[in-house]
Amino acid sequence: MKNIFSYNTCIGKITIAEQDGYITNLFFANDKICNDYTIYESSEIKEAKQQLFEYLEGKRKKFNLKLNPQGTIFMKKVWSLLQDIDYGKIVSYQDIAIKLGNKNYVRAVGMANNKNPIPIFIPCHRVIGKNGKLVGYRGGMDIKEYLINLENSKCNI
């Protein structure tokens, strides 16, 4: 069964999806959600919500959730590398492309970031343009900037 449940957060409405014990999606307020979900706050969704709120309060730096993002093999490689970016750190799309073995993969890395079905839990907000500028974020640039600033706050020890 595919379950979803929504929460109001400091960055707007967040909907978390779960299937077979794995978190599969995180939707922002403006995302379109298909109708094949049951509205049910499963134990996995409750745990994801708890960890999300701790993160947004500056009390959590690493997530401990069972994730199952759906995508191509290449996308999954990118998403795996994103999970290795430490809290409070930022890297460029080119940095990720180089880790994948080819600096020319920059656009493909950008597309994989754009298709990340579980943002925040898979921290694609930590990836910026080579020139140091914030570029692209499905949740909106204001949320990306908020998350980067949250992680770089001197209050978060």
Q: Percent helix, strand, coil in the chain (nearest 5)?
A: 35, 20, 45
**What are the backbone angles phi and psi of residue 70, rounded to the nearest 5°?**
-100, 130
Between 106-114 and 73-82, two packed helices, what is the crossing angle to 10 degrees?
80
**β-sheet bridge partners, residue 22:** 19
Backbone phi and psi for residue 67, each to the nearest 5 degrees, phi listed first: -110, 145
* Rounded CA separation 9/99 (Å): 34
Contact 124, 82 (CB under 8 A): yes
Q: Which residue among the candidates 10, 34, 124, 155 is catalytic per the annotation? A: 124
- Cα 110-114-118 angle, rounded to 5 deg: 125
Q: Is 34 a catalytic residue?
A: no
Q: Distance between terminal CA atoms of the chain?
A: 39
* Residue 143: both structure tokens together: 């949320």
The catalytic site residues sit at 124
